[in-house]
Chain A
């Protein structure tokens, strides 16, 4: 499969239309959902998906199947692009204020936007509510808002290693709970 994926990206890099179509068919749903999770509106998510596939074409020749599977590469390119987009467009403002109480972390994604109020992330937010406070806050800020771990570390005045561990364990716990819910 790795060889096939490498060939696919080789063809994408060469501008092969059929290869671009195949790449879209395999990953458009996943990419769109990630974009939808991080961006406030559906049109913004669709714009981002277009940009991400252009980015995938631009970086296709850098894909190394020895380093990662293709879905990993696609997710990495997509997430990085979305985080850059959030910052570039100043969707997230630097005037963010933070409060120490659980559930009150407030980040301004725009005039009317807050993930906590958004239905599309309701499943994730329900899962988040059951996590220890530090893990929940770190996931919200890094995973949903695109803050770097260093920024989160400074915001929470917590060691970088602690933030990394909290994020890693929190994400693992979230996935376990989500899988358990799906199995029920």
Chain B
């Protein structure tokens, strides 16, 4: 028998009587209990039956019966122990005990007045805590929504300043092409969109989250069959930013490869 593997059925049955008679030491008893829980249900039932037989077998015990007066002494000692424990652990230990007390109030184990007070105080405290928790969750949710709205408003303000009051008409003009730049592994949180209007040949760059890619300046480049051309160098402060790129050859650049490179030459965003 090793301590690493649960006992076999034979071992469990052999030690069943020793377990119930308290003859196993602490380690062995814990090992036995662990093995019991690993055993199949049929074996567990068998052990429980055997142990109950051993426990209730009086054939080896003396025939003496307890004195009738012992009953009152035992009940009084238990009641005193409960009362002592209740007062020692008050107020917290008294929570919930009233539910088990007889309704007629003639209990041997009554709840003291201080217990009533502390129970009420605990319930009140629990209620206040719950209300605060609800307020906190709602406030946090509200704060998030406010941040989202502020971000949208800020973006609109930037675009309006860069593009003019009619920026919405520009952005949603049917002649405007949107080229989405996706983040490389260097800046997973960064985003950028290039807007090219095929009718007016105007171009705009909108970025978000570039600061996470590292402080410093960034360069917007376009690469086609003729080579790479740097269109705009800019600095990012994080958040949403917009940059006017002026008039470009939209027809030839719409299908080119756009990329944003940081100051160390790493490609942060690309349209590829």
On A, residues with C-beta under 8 Å from B are: 11, 14-18, 20-21, 24, 28-30, 32-34, 36-37, 42, 46, 49-51, 53-54, 57-58, 66-69, 71-72, 74-76, 79-80, 83, 120-121, 123-124, 127, 142-143, 148-150, 161, 164-165, 167-168, 171-172, 174-175, 178-179, 181-182
SS of A interface (majority):
helix
Q: How far is the CB of B108 from chain A (nearest CB, A)?
A: 4
Q: Of B24, B62, B101, which one neighbours A36 at CB under 8 angstroms?
A: B62
The 9 closest A-B pairs by CB, nearest first: A14-B100, A178-B59, A79-B22, A75-B55, A32-B66, A120-B62, A33-B61, A69-B52, A80-B22
Q: Are B67 and A74 in contact (CB under 8 A)?
A: no
CB-CB under 8 A from A49, the residues of chain B are 66, 70, 74
Q: Which A residue sits closest to B57, measured CB to CB?
A: A175
In this complex, the interface size class of chain B, counting residues with CB under 8 Å from chain A, is: 35 or more
Q: Are B18 and A53 interface neighbours, CB within 8 A?
A: no
Nearest A-chain residue to B69, judged by Cβ:
A46
Name the prevailing secondary structure of the B interface residues.
helix
Given contacts A15-B109, A72-B55, contact A50 B77 (CB under 8 A): yes
Q: Are B60 and A127 in contact (CB under 8 A)?
A: yes
Q: In the complex, are the beta carbons of A121 and B62 less than 8 A apart? A: yes
Which B100-125 residues have C-beta < 8 A from chain A? 100-102, 107-109
Is B249 positioned at the interface, with any CB of A under 8 Å from its CB?
no
Pair B59/A17 contact, Cβ less than 8 Å: no
**Distance in angstroms between the alpha carbons of A40 and B133 in the assembled complex:** 61
In the complex, what's the smallest C-beta–C-beta distance from B24 to chain A, in angstroms?
A: 7
A18 adjacent to B102 (CB under 8 Å): yes
Q: In the complex, which residues of chain A have a beta carbon less than 8 angstroms from the beta carbon of B77? A: 50-51, 53-54
Determine the residue in chain B with the shortest Cβ distance to A177.
B59
14 A–B pairs (Cβ distance < 8 Å), ordered by A:
A14-B96, A14-B97, A16-B100, A36-B61, A46-B70, A50-B70, A50-B73, A71-B52, A72-B54, A76-B55, A79-B21, A121-B62, A149-B25, A175-B60
Closest chain B residue to A33 by CB distance? B61
Cβ–Cβ < 8 Å partners of B70 in chain A: 28, 32, 46, 49-50
B75 lies within 8 A of chain A by Cβ: yes
